[in-house]
Structure 1
Amino acid sequence: MGIILMARFPTDSKEFAKRIFYTVFMGSENSSKDTKKRAKDLADEIGSWHLDVSIDGVVSALLTLFQTLTGKRPRYKVDGGSNIENLGLQNIQARIRMVLAFMLASLLPWVHNKPGFYLVLGSSNVDEGLRGYLTKYDCSSADINPIGSISKQDLRAFLRWAAVHLGYSSLAEIEAAPPTAELEPIRSNYSQLDEVDMGMTYEELSVYGRLRKIFRCGPVSMFKNLCYRWGSRLSPLEVADKVKHFFKYYSINRHKMTVMTPSYHAESYSPEDNRFDLRQFLYNSRWPYQFSKIDELVKELDGEVAFGETSDQDRSRANGVGMGVVAAGSGDPKSGL
């Protein structure tokens, strides 16, 4: 790894990183100055060969081509466009970044008179995959994804730890920043945020993932488990709405898991269907039987706390151990089967 010129070995980690590791900030008109600065600060601390490029010209060229073909030009939602237009404009930016990353990986060695090519590293985490909060063939598509099977909660904990113990102080600022894709225009009264877009928090996604994969829960059994887990603070109807919302998007986006980039396997609820989750990828996203059964249970439990824990118990289970009715107080995935 790395070309040794005239027996000159790297003298420190930064010099080594400079030889083998390229980082690229592929910004657009929707990217904030703060995000750009954080990327540069981290690259300087690591020692990577850092590039800064704007993708606006490529986006504009594609939109002009589309307008020539169709006579229409899509607009963002904040500018009066529809949800379809808004999503399409975001996907264009995301996919351009994937194409640019692979182009740089194949041609940068040639630019610097080196043989071979570089591997592209992906950057989507397990919770984004579970929810499908990523564009198919965007910057989640890569040769390998070091964090593809790590939960957002664990990633944030690692960033906090690394900022202190590894000396990468910029990671503390990165961890503290609200997660955002920055694919929509920033306005004085609007700023795109991941958890708002998804309609659920990353903490909730970790719970859904463990129930779905480890405890093999479908909509009904997940509803029962979460009435137990969240019963002290949410009504059965509120739990039902959250479960339905998750399974709707889980099923709609399940097809994306068939092309997930291979990743380091660090989380037991990885949704990647090539190796770790062999469930089907086509579902009826309306879940008619399961959702109607949940509605029946909500009526039976109307005004009651079904299996409610106390608030102290609820907090004590924040680490995912003891997921509810099927496996109450047990960390054994086979418990209750």
Structure 2
Amino acid sequence: MRAKQLADEIGAWHLDVCIDGVVSAVLSLFQTVTGKRPRYKVDGGSNAENLGLQNIQARMRMVLAFMLASLLPWVHSKSGFYLVLGSSNVDEGLRGYLTKYDCSSADINPIGSISKQDLRLFLRWAATNLGYQSLADIEAAPPTAELEPIRSDYTQLDEVDMGMTYEELSVYGRMRKIFRCGPNLCYKWGTKLSPAEVAEKVKYFFKYYSINRHKMTVLTPSYHAESYSPEDNRFDLRQFLYNSKWPYQFKKIDEIVDGLNGDSVAFPEEEEEATSSQEFGVVAANSGDPSAGL
């Protein structure tokens, strides 16, 4: 509904397409081959079944999008072809919260180097200053992949699935790429969380960052807009095979937490800003000097 409203406001041609029949056909083929039919988690299925069912829906969207892009001009008796635009953002790429060859796969991604937080700021601005009121509804809607069945007691939400908020992801992304920091967040979040809680959040992020980094190698090229972009094609060249247990790094984080013994690590705002301006390596969070790098 929100997509249709936006299309009407900007004068775009909109299609509502149901892919249930295509998904059912693929599942029937899978059942014929294997003798089993997967179930969603809300219906008693395992995590593997649940993810597999979401991924097949996601990939069918990509297949249909490219088919429409190549044949819609022909349908309308026109020449040429359309381009498919991607819709994955920086935070989804960092966390790996996307399916390979779904909305992450396109001809070009206009928002692929922009974080969710910055996108929401733009949507709010555009709704007010450009007159597209539907953008306010889009910005206010809870982010969801819409790939699991809705039940009376369950609705799929991005931040619940990811185990972290988009606001937290935005912070991780800036610290990782722009400031080249490791466990620096004790100083930024020290007034809200204990060192142990910060450590668990950082380790959780890097676990899934490393597990899913391989997805970045096949992402659609993005319009380069921000220095925190994790795009692997040109602007953030890194290895994509990691030990997701991070034994050395996580051990050091745990040692730092043990050394703090629950002490407060919050610094005055001006010192926090000074910390963020340093582009060193891993911050020596136990050195007593937040600007000291390792």
Which TM-score band (shorter chain)? over 0.9
The 2-side partners of 1:309 and 1:101 are apart by 50
Is 1:196 the counterpart of 2:160? The answer is yes
Is 1:248 the counterpart of 2:212? The answer is no
The 2-side partners of 1:215 and 1:52 are apart by 43
The 2-side partners of 1:260 and 1:329 are apart by 29
- Which of 309, 312, 323 lines up with 2:267 in the alignment? 309
- What does residue 283 of structure 2 align with? none
- What does residue 279 of structure 1 align with? 238
Give a deviation string over 1:200-253, Cα, whole Å, max 9, x none: 111111111111112223xxxx22x11111111111110111011000000000
Is 1:158 the counterpart of 2:158? The answer is no
**Percent same amino acid at aligned positions?**
82
- Which consecutive residues of structure 2, in runs of 5 or more, have no partner in the other structure? 281-290
- What does residue 14 of structure 2 align with? 50
Residue identity matched to 2:275: A
Kindly indicate whether the alpha-carbon contact (under 8 Å) linking 1:258 and 1:273 is maintained by their aligned counterparts in 2: yes
- Which of 184, 188, 195 lines up with 1:236 in the alignment? 195
Alignment of 1:157-176 (within 5 A): 157-176=121-140
Residue 179 of structure 1 and its aligned partner are, at CA, apart by: 0.5
- What does residue 70 of structure 2 align with? 106
Kindly indicate whether the alpha-carbon contact (under 8 Å) linking 1:230 and 1:309 is maintained by their aligned counterparts in 2: no
Aligned residue for 1:182, secondary structure, equals coil
Residue identity matched to 1:206: S
The 2-side partners of 1:329 and 1:43 are apart by 41
Residue 336 of structure 1 and its aligned partner are, at CA, apart by: 6.0
- Which of 90, 94, 97 lines up with 2:61 in the alignment? 97
Give a deviation string over 1:84-103, Cα, whole Å, max 9, x none: 00000000011000000000
- What does residue 132 of structure 1 align with? 96
- Which of 257, 262, 272 lines up with 2:216 in the alignment? 257
The 2-side partners of 1:256 and 1:97 are apart by 18
The 2-side partners of 1:72 and 1:329 are apart by 52
Structure 1 stretches (4+) deviating beyond 3 angstroms? 332-337
Aligned residue for 1:50, secondary structure, equals coil
Residue 333 of structure 1 and its aligned partner are, at CA, apart by: 3.7
Give a deviation string over 1:29-87, Cα, whole Å, max 9, x none: xxxxxxxx111111110111111110100000000000000000000000000000000
Kindly indicate whether the alpha-carbon contact (under 8 Å) linking 2:173 and 2:228 is maintained by their aligned counterparts in 1: yes
- Which of 41, 48, 63 lines up with 2:5 in the alignment? 41
Structure 2-normalised TM-score? 0.93
Give the aligned CA root-mean-square deviation in angstroms: 1.6
Is 1:268 the counterpart of 2:227? The answer is yes
Give a deviation string over 1:140-183, Cα, whole Å, max 9, x none: 10000000001111110111111111111011011001100111
- What does residue 118 of structure 1 align with? 82
Q: 1:329 to 1:283 in 2, by over 3 A?
A: closer
- What does residue 25 of structure 2 align with? 61
Kindly indicate whether the alpha-carbon contact (under 8 Å) linking 2:110 and 2:222 is maintained by their aligned counterparts in 1: yes
Aligned residue for 2:14, secondary structure, equals strand
- What does residue 328 of structure 1 align with? 275
Is 1:226 the counterpart of 2:185? The answer is yes
Residue 329 of structure 1 and its aligned partner are, at CA, apart by: 5.0
The 2-side partners of 1:169 and 1:146 are apart by 21
Is 1:179 the counterpart of 2:126? The answer is no
Structure 1-normalised TM-score? 0.81
Structure with more contact order per residue of length (Cα contacts < 8 Å, sep ≥ 6): 2
The 1-side partners of 2:276 and 2:242 are apart by 31
Q: 1:187 to 1:100 in 2, by over 3 A?
A: same
Residue identity matched to 1:268: S
Q: How many residues were matched structurally? A: 283
Is 1:87 the counterpart of 2:87? The answer is no
Is 1:291 the counterpart of 2:250? The answer is yes
Kindly indicate whether the alpha-carbon contact (under 8 Å) linking 2:84 and 2:108 is maintained by their aligned counterparts in 1: yes
Q: 1:270 to 1:123 in 2, by over 3 A?
A: same
The 2-side partners of 1:333 and 1:153 are apart by 23
Residue 309 of structure 1 and its aligned partner are, at CA, apart by: 3.2
The 2-side partners of 1:132 and 1:201 are apart by 14
- What does residue 175 of structure 2 align with? 211
Give a deviation string over 1:290-315, Cα, whole Å, max 9, x none: 1111111111112211x3136xx4xx
Kindly indicate whether the alpha-carbon contact (under 8 Å) linking 1:159 and 1:171 is maintained by their aligned counterparts in 2: yes
